[in-house]
Amino acid sequence: MQTLPNSSETVTEVRVEDDRTGLSVETLKRAFADNLFYIQGKFPQIASKNDFYMALAYTVRDRLLRRWLNTAETYSRNASRTVAYLSAEFLMGPQLGNNLINLGIYDQVNQAMQELGLDLRELLEEEEEPGLGNGGLGRLAACYLDSLATLEIPSLGYGIRYEFGIFDQDIKDGWQVEITDKWLSAGNPWELPRPEWSVEVKLGGHTEKRADEHGNFKIYWVPNQVVKGIPYDTPILGYKTNTANTLRLWKAEAVESFDFYAFDSGDYLGAVHQKTVSENISKVLYPNDNSAQGKELRLAQQIFFVSCSLKDMMRIMEQQKVPLEQFPEKFVIQLNDTHPSVAIPELMRLLVDEYDMPWEKAWGITKQSFAYTNHTLLPEALERWPIGLFGKMLPRHLEIIYEINKRFLDEVRMKFPDDTDRLRRMSLIDESGERYVRMAFLACVGSYSINGVAALHTELLKKDVLHDFYEMYPEKFNNKTNGVTPRRFMVLSNPRLCRLLNSKIGDEWIKNLYELKKLEAFVEDPEFRRQWREMKLEIKQDVADYIKKTTDIDVNVNSMFDIQAKRFHEYKRQHLNVLHIITLYNRIKANPDIDITPRTFLFGGKAAPGYYIAKLIIKLINSVGDIVNRDPDVRDRLKVVFLKDFNVKFAQRIYPSADLSEQISTAGKEASGTGNMKFALNGAITIGTLDGANVEIREEVGAENFFLFGLTTEEVYALKKEGYQPWEYYQKDPELKLAIDRIASGFFSHGDPKLFKPLVDHLLGNDQYMLLADYRSYIDTQDRVSEAYRDIDRWVRMSILNVARMGKFSSDRSIRDYCEDFWKVQPVNIELKEYVQATA
């Protein structure tokens, strides 16, 4: 107890819960009612579910704001070294539930809502998720923001505030139909616009060499378009810390002066057109996963958010009085793949052209500031921009890239004299036909660190895709195996599992996932195994109810839930899974009394709208489901369900219910995978190839708790080299032949053999992803899976051990690795200033 200064009487200091910061049930209820009234302008009798959701979201946001402002103030006062995570995608998923968990008030809010006659779960369902990403890469960025805040690392996420995120998926007659995602239509309570920090970005035009006022010749860029970027900030709260970092997303708008000019000259329609063109930049997320799209608008998006973000960093430095020379000490810029790599010439341009810095000094700063993460080995996903298109939009950047390239090739020549072929291979400009800028090479030259996202992936980068760069700069290469946040993908999504874990090992694991190891001590406890089994059954029942409600299909919760949920791509081989389903079906048809382990096959995932074969695979799954689910011979032993519109919200629902996780990509194709981690953390057993992070998951959980099949990467390479003949596999294996023949004959397409012909032709033609080569191994392994599932006690042990041994795959571990290895950023503790009221 304190006395206030200058008080004559005894004054008692009483801490009163403020309506905007208090965390007790009573205060939360009061704040909620207040927000419903003053922000939504509604009273309970006429409020919609969305009004209630909004009132609650604002109640939670108020509590974030206090932490957020304290954090910002501390970073600003200390001029803390900061990670700037640049990503074209942040697949955040719904915010409310996660913020409740991280604030530690989920139970209080649940009770508050109950007392008000509302159901928290229904309100959570109400939130439109910000789907500002395609899949793994965008979701990884979101997990990393959660871990950065939890580990109290000063950081900023920079990206684009797309008006339309990833499309919603509907299924009509078995086909995918895309619907625009209108995530902002009901308003976004989590963001704060910051128009005072808007910046301008130039596009197009040409460059001129002119003397400045001192008679020195300089390059001037005369653009033909200028757009304004307005930052929208979202607080990112760590788990049970006071740290709330910022996700800053840029929205494109027209620059007023441009409109005025056109209006003045009487070109009204021209002015309006100009405005639309500018706003288009942040209109829509490109919906491609693992393929680059060489579109002008995409390049405009990249330079737009990158330029806005760099200028924002410079503004922050100025405000904190950090000299520009110290850019690499103040910021480390992590490039999430090559999409933001145009930041390298843009930083050069800012330093050289706008701050008059000599080239050598600017280059020294630049190459100490950037670090590059590669996420793919697929050649079609490696970005390259045609010189013509690039130069038209970014004439000055192209000149800068030429200069970087010239100096870089001199370096190569020094290190490898008389190796002209190497110069051709390593040039930042691909001159083999139409000329292109190679963005991955630019990222390698301009960064001090280059990392892959799983051990195997990094090795393949060094050996293959970036081999020349590895020889040139071996010290730059390192691995950072991906991870996922246990807050969203366990605590929030799987409360039943968490309760069981907490009852045995406490809740330390939420911050230190290696603590899960302690579970191993209970694996021999039959009562614990019974609880585990019961828990899984309850979760499966929930999902079964959801399936019934959304598809009207009955599924048997005692059957094995065999799930493949991820983007659709041929290399991920959802169609290999289908070949297994058809094989089981054929066995039943040949022998209706066959003893088969009942399975429910669940699929979820979107296909890029322009990727025909991927969409045809979705159609095939639905067509096979139509036949199998209705065939009386099957007697409910097999069910095939395609669950539409797989997104973050839906992922959280489905991962906990899996018995078997399908991670069946062709070896050497999946950089890491992160769904594989989410399934295993929720107790699914993996059937998988030695690809991406599967290799490390198997290492951790033990070979006996993982179903391995298929060719290794070396075997894939070798088989390709010796001339792979899929036809031979087809001819040799009667089960394989029958499965493919059934598809080809029109058995699943009302007798129409044409429908799936393109798919069959791919498989029997060159079978790029080697399904036929892996088929037999996959089927035999699936037979072992079925066998194992029959011994449910053995299965439960495997499931427990999977969870117990997955500690490595927390995104906290990944982020710690980044920090210690090359970010060199320290945690900063945030003190919460108390709100104190005094009464006599």
Question: Which member of 168, 181, 289, 696 binds ligand F58 (CB under 6 A)?
Answer: 289
334 binds ligand F58 (CB under 6 A): no
Instruction: Tell me how far, at minimum, the Cβ of 479 lies from ligand F58, in Å.
Output: 12
Query: SS3 for 382?
Result: coil
For residues 484 and 693, what is the distance between their CA atoms, to the nearest angstrom? 12
Active site residue 367: no
Going from the C-alpha of 219 to that of each of 349, 352, 354, 395, 401, the distances in angstroms are 10, 10, 10, 11, 15
Query: What is the DSSP track for 446-464?
Result: HEEEEEESSHHHHHHIIII
118 or 461: CB nearest ligand F58:
461
Binding flags for ligand F58, 445-464, as an x/- string (CB under 6 A)? --------x-----------
27 binds ligand F58 (CB under 6 A): no
381 binds ligand F58 (CB under 6 A): yes
Instruction: Tell me how far, at minimum, the Cβ of 372 lies from ligand F58, in Å.
Output: 13
Identified catalytic residue from 67, 462, 540, 566 = 566
140 or 303: CB nearest ligand F58:
140
786 or 811: CB nearest ligand F58:
811
Nearest Cα neighbor of 823 from 137, 329, 411 is: 329
Active site residue 504: no
For residues 493 and 308, what is the distance between their CA atoms, to the nearest angstrom? 35
600 or 672: CB nearest ligand F58:
672
92 or 501: CB nearest ligand F58:
92
375 binds ligand F58 (CB under 6 A): yes
CB 612 within 8 A of CB 627: no
| Candidates 132-140, 190-198, 605-613, 782-790; binding stretch for ligand F58 (CB under 6 A) | 132-140
| Candidates 436-444, 525-533, 670-678, 702-710; binding stretch for ligand F58 (CB under 6 A) | 670-678
Nearest-CB residue to ligand F58? 136
Question: Which member of 670, 696, 767, 774 binds ligand F58 (CB under 6 A)?
Answer: 670
Question: Which member of 130, 136, 446, 483 binds ligand F58 (CB under 6 A)?
Answer: 136
Tell me which H or E stretch contains 316: helix 296-319
For residues 326 and 178, what is the distance between their CA atoms, to the nearest angstrom? 47
674 binds ligand F58 (CB under 6 A): yes
Number of other CB atoms surrounding residue 633 within 10 Å: 12
656 binds ligand F58 (CB under 6 A): no
| Candidates 120-128, 584-592, 672-680, 715-723; binding stretch for ligand F58 (CB under 6 A) | 672-680
Number of other CB atoms surrounding residue 706 within 10 Å: 20
Identified catalytic residue from 384, 529, 678, 808 = 678
Active site residue 139: no
Identified catalytic residue from 61, 251, 330, 375 = 375
For residues 103 and 165, what is the distance between their CA atoms, to the nearest angstrom? 27
67 binds ligand F58 (CB under 6 A): no
Q: Which residues contact 252 (CB under 8 A, 6 or more apart)?
A: 227, 228, 229, 278, 279, 280, 281, 282, 304
Active site residue 567: yes
120 binds ligand F58 (CB under 6 A): no
CB 685 within 8 A of CB 707: yes
**Which amino acid makes up residue 359?**
W
Number of other CB atoms surrounding residue 441 within 10 Å: 24
Instruction: Tell me how far, at minimum, the Cβ of 135 lies from ligand F58, in Å.
Output: 4
Cα torsion 126, 131, 137, 140 to 10°: value is -30
| Candidates 71-79, 282-290, 318-326, 459-467; binding stretch for ligand F58 (CB under 6 A) | 282-290
Write phi, then psi, for 83 (nearest 5 degrees): -85, 125
Strands 660-663 and 638-643, by their bridges, are unpaired
Identified catalytic residue from 572, 615, 649, 808 = 572
673 binds ligand F58 (CB under 6 A): yes
How far out from the chain centre does Cα 825 lie? 23
Residues touching ligand F58: how many (CB under 6 A)?
20
Going from the C-alpha of 826 to that of each of 76, 153, 154, 745, 829, the distances in angstroms are 15, 6, 8, 63, 10
Q: Map tokens 């959570």 to a residue.
A: 124
Query: SS3 for 151?
Result: coil
Identified catalytic residue from 161, 384, 397, 567 = 567
Question: Which member of 376, 686, 705, 802 binds ligand F58 (CB under 6 A)?
Answer: 376
Phi-psi region of 239 (alpha: psi -120 to 50; beta: other; left: phi over 0): beta
CB 301 within 8 A of CB 160: yes
| Candidates 37-45, 360-368, 375-383, 699-707; binding stretch for ligand F58 (CB under 6 A) | 375-383
Structure letter (DSSP) for residue 242: S
Identified catalytic residue from 150, 243, 674, 686 = 674
135 or 157: CB nearest ligand F58:
135
340 or 486: CB nearest ligand F58:
340
134 or 559: CB nearest ligand F58:
134
Handedness of CA 472, 426, 377, 295 (dihedral sign): positive
Structure letter (DSSP) for residue 284: B
134 or 155: CB nearest ligand F58:
134
CB 343 within 8 A of CB 325: no
Q: Contacts with ligand F58 in 292-321 (CB under 6 A)?
A: 292
Binding flags for ligand F58, 581-600, as an x/- string (CB under 6 A)? --------------------
Tokens linked to 287: 């919906």
230 binds ligand F58 (CB under 6 A): no
132 or 230: CB nearest ligand F58:
132
165 binds ligand F58 (CB under 6 A): no
Q: Which residues contact 303 (CB under 8 A, 6 or more apart)?
A: 201, 203, 342, 346, 393, 394, 397
135 binds ligand F58 (CB under 6 A): yes
118 or 148: CB nearest ligand F58:
148
289 or 645: CB nearest ligand F58:
289
Active site residue 674: yes
Question: Which member of 92, 333, 671, 771 binds ligand F58 (CB under 6 A)?
Answer: 671
647 binds ligand F58 (CB under 6 A): no
Question: Which member of 198, 334, 369, 482 binds ligand F58 (CB under 6 A)?
Answer: 482
Binding site for ligand F58 (CB under 6 A): 134-137, 140, 288-290, 292, 375-376, 381, 453, 482, 670-674, 692
**Which sequence positions are flagged as catalytic?**
375, 566-567, 572, 674, 678
